[in-house]
């Protein structure tokens, strides 16, 4: 039997080497007595099908039945989603090409049981991916609500900087926004920008104007 080996590393996987996937695949083929038709290797995100040129080449070769089975190290090296996985499986079946995953030994799409296991594992992989994405979104949202924009570090307690601190530091630094920002950063441990200082001074001036005009601060949104 002739086998097409596929390996993929993500552009984010610094220091990763496709040989970490290909070497055990070669050994497995040797033990099974299979011949390797070709090795296909991509360096791209799973979702970046445009730059996964070897992946597209593999599918073209499968269409010409240049090999009997596609062998990968793990499901997430080949597929970006459940839909992508099941669609590819359907295509390979139409070419009469099998599919196997070394780390998911129950998957052998030349049998009904193997197809069932493939669909289950692909669904679990997608579920875990969605859960991770949801956790990240919730963590960033929590961080934004507690004083950070990027969400790093998650759950950091917000350190309040009072108007009094800003005004006294501003006065002590000769009304210089940049110098005030540096002083506040050093004093509070919170990174403060000159823009923050300017905005706070402007807001305090507006409050003072309203108070002098007789408007109670509690009657407006501060």
Over residues 112-161, the pLDDT tens digits come to 777 776 677 667 666 666 777 777 777 777 676 666 555 555 444 556 78
For the chain, what is the domain count?
2
Residues spanned by the domain of 35: 2-112
Q: What are phi and psi of 77, to 5 degrees?
A: -75, -20
Q: Do the domain assignments include residue 149?
A: no
User: Are residues 200 and 108 part of one domain?
Assistant: no
Yes or no: say if 45 and 116 are a contact pair by the CB < 8 Å rule. no
Alpha helices, DSSP H, located in 4-111: 19-32, 53-63, 82-94
Whether 123 is a known active-site residue: answer no
Contacts of residue 39, defined as CB under 8 A and 6 or more positions apart, other chains included, come to 5, 6, 7, 22
Residue partners of 189: CB distance under 8 A and separation at least 6: 159
Identify whether residues 167 and 107 lie together within a single domain: no
Tell me the CA distances in angstroms from 104 to 38, 71, 117, 197, one per residue in order. Answer: 21, 11, 9, 57
The predicted pLDDT at position 221 comes to 39
- CATH number for position 104: 3.40.50.1390
Residue 22 lies in a domain: yes
Whether 22 contacts 5, CB under 8 Å: yes
Which of 119, 60, 112 minimizes the C-alpha distance to 84? 119
Both 12 and 106 in a single domain?
A: yes
**13 and 102 inside one domain:** yes
Burial class (CB in 10 A: 0-12, 13-18, 19+), 45: middle
Query: How far is it, in rounded angstroms, from Cα 99 to Cα 115?
Result: 9
Residue 8 resides in a domain: yes
Instruction: State whether residue 29 is helix, strand or coil.
Output: helix
CA distances from 42 to 22, 213, 219 (A): 12, 69, 62
150 lies in a domain? Answer: no
Q: Is residue 41 part of a domain?
A: yes
Q: Are residues 10 and 80 in the same domain?
A: yes
Residue keyed to tokens 């991770």: 132
Q: What is the pLDDT of residue 196?
A: 87
Say whether the peptide bond before residue 222 is cis (omega within 30 degrees of 0).
Answer: no
Residue 213 lies in a domain: yes
Q: What pLDDT tens digit does each residue of the chain (222 aa) get?
A: 999 999 999 876 556 789 999 999 999 999 999 999 999 999 988 888 888 999 999 999 999 999 999 999 988 888 877 778 878 888 998 899 999 888 877 676 767 777 776 677 667 666 666 777 777 777 777 676 666 555 555 444 556 788 889 999 999 999 999 999 999 988 888 888 888 888 888 888 877 765 655 544 443 333
**Is there a single domain that holds both residue 108 and residue 175?**
no
Query: Burial level of 188, CB count in 10 A (0-12/13-18/19+)?
Result: middle
The radius of gyration of the chain's CA atoms, rounded to the nearest angstrom, is 29
Query: Is position 79 within any domain?
Result: yes
User: Which of 112, 129, 148 is at the close of a domain?
Assistant: 112
Q: Is residue 123 part of a domain?
A: no
Q: Are residues 16 and 108 both part of a single domain?
A: yes
Report the relative pairing of strands 35-43 and 2-9 from DSSP bridges.
parallel
Q: Note whether 103 and 23 are same-domain residues.
A: yes
């Amino acid at each position: 039997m002739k086998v097409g080996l596929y390996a993929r590393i993500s552009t984010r996987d610094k220091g990763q080497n496709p040989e970490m996937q290909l070497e055990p695949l070669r050994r497995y083929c040797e033990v099974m007595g299979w011949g390797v038709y070709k090795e296909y290797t991509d360096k791209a995100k799973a979702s970046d099908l445009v730059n996964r040129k070897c992946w597209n080449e593999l599918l073209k070769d499968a269409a010409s039945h240049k090999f009997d089975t596609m062998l990968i190290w793990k499901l997430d090296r080949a597929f970006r989603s459940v839909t992508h996985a099941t669609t590819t499986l359907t295509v390979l079946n139409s070419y009469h090409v099998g599919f196997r995953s070394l780390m998911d030994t129950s998957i052998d799409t030349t049998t009904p049981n193997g197809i069932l296991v493939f669909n289950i594992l692909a669904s679990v992989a997608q579920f875990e991916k969605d859960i991770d994405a949801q956790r990240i979104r919730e963590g960033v949202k929590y961080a934004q609500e507690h004083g950070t924009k990027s969400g790093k570090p998650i759950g950091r307690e917000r350190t309040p900087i009072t108007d009094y601190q800003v005004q006294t530091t501003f006065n002590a630094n000769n009304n210089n926004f940049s110098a005030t920002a540096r002083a506040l950063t050093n004093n509070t441990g919170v990174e403060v920008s000159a823009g923050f200082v300017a905005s706070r001074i402007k807001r305090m001036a507006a409050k003072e104007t309203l108070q002098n005009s007789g408007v109670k601060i509690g009657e407006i949104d501060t």
